[in-house]
Amino acid sequence: DPKIIQKPKYLVAVTGSEKILICEQYLGHNAMYWYRQSAKKPLEFMFSYSYQKLMDNQTASSRFQPQSSKKNHLDLQITALKPDDSATYFCASSQGQYYAEQFFGPGTRLTVL
């Protein structure tokens, strides 16, 4: 019974297109995050939200836009896709936004052709 759901599991897109990655958590947490794992690179932080408000953004590009329609949702919209955006995108959540253990979803593997 997965507590953090990410959809889709795999995604193939063409350069220049736009995609939305879905994340829902059923842990009752109030903070959610996005991380990215590219080939040969460590996992890197992208965004954090607490009570549906942006807390931190370490993504240089405005092509990446998180969207939080509900407390337990944090989607990631990516526009003008590039091949370098190919990576696995992980959603995570925690109870509290300060020094709280984080739990990760299964990831969405994005390939941009």
Partner 1 sequence: EQQVQQSPASLVLQEAENAELQCSFSIFTNQVQWFYQRPGGRLVSLLYNPSGTKQSGRLTSTTVIKERRSSLHISSSQITDSGTYLCATMSNYNVLYFGSGTKLTVEP
- 110: tokens are 């994005």
Residues 80-99 that bind partner 1 (CB under 8 A): 88, 90, 92, 94, 96-99
Contact status: 100 vs partner 1 (CB under 8 A): yes
Binding residue (CB under 8 A) for partner 1 from 42, 60, 70, 84: 42
Binding residue (CB under 8 A) for partner 1 from 13, 21, 23, 33: 33
Burial letters 23-57, b for 16+ CB under 10 A, else e: bbbeeebbbbbbbbeeeeeeeeebbbbbeeeeeeb
Residues 1-30 that bind partner 1 (CB under 8 A): none
